[in-house]
A = this chain, B = another copy of it.
């Protein structure tokens, strides 16, 4: 249906955030093509009729929420704005982070970051479990720096948090720290073993 324009406000409840039929159809068609699926294949995977899918893609129908939901799952579509709230209302968790390779890993010389709760894409804070590899302190050279704030909790090991404007901070298991991540910072493990920390980052 066309955007509803109310008499009183003169405002169009337009598809600024939630996609309207036309955009939705295009999104779905693009996503299907992207995955190299035919109407038949995609429809079957989503357990809907191929004619229905055709109509949706061509904006010739007003599909039910349920149908759209199945399509989004099948096509692994980026959650549109409409679903932001429902995604936030969801919970995302996992048993011991070390068990499965479910989290997104990012490994460098110094760190091994694992992003937690990746099922939830709309979250504003980013929780990581990071391993700070035991290595030579003298190699330390460049700051990490990103606009926002960061909270860190030491799960195990001993480390030193170096920051641009403050003296190095020795930390051990159970310690925590909060800082502006726009300030250059970085960690070095001070024992022979890797240190494990929980990081929660808020980008601004």
| Chain A residues with a Cβ under 8 A of chain B | 1, 3-4, 6, 9-21, 23-24, 27, 47, 62-70, 72-73, 77-100, 116-117, 119-125, 127, 129, 147-149, 151, 153, 161, 163, 165-166, 169, 171-180, 182-183, 198, 200, 202, 204
Contacts and interface: CB of A to CB of B under 8 A. Distances in A.
Which 4 pairs across A and B sit closest by C-beta, in order of nearness? A93-B177, A96-B174, A117-B178, A88-B180
A185 to B, nearest CB: 8
Nearest to A177: B93
Given A78-B81, A200-B127, A97 B169 contact: yes
B176 A6 contact: no
A52 B179 CA distance: 34
A116 B86 contact: no
Contacts of A161: 91, 93, 97
B176 A3 contact: no
Contacts of A63: 64-65
Given A27-B86, A47-B6, A78-B85, A99 B16 contact: no
Contacts of A17: 69, 72-73, 78, 80, 90
A81 to B, nearest CB: 6
A15 B92 contact: yes
Contact of A99 (B64, B70, B176): B176
A12 B68 contact: no
A21 to B, nearest CB: 7
Contacts of A89: 19, 27, 165, 179-180, 182-183
19 contacts: A1-B66, A16-B87, A16-B120, A16-B121, A17-B69, A18-B78, A62-B65, A91-B147, A91-B149, A91-B178, A96-B173, A96-B179, A97-B163, A97-B178, A123-B149, A124-B202, A125-B151, A125-B178, A129-B176
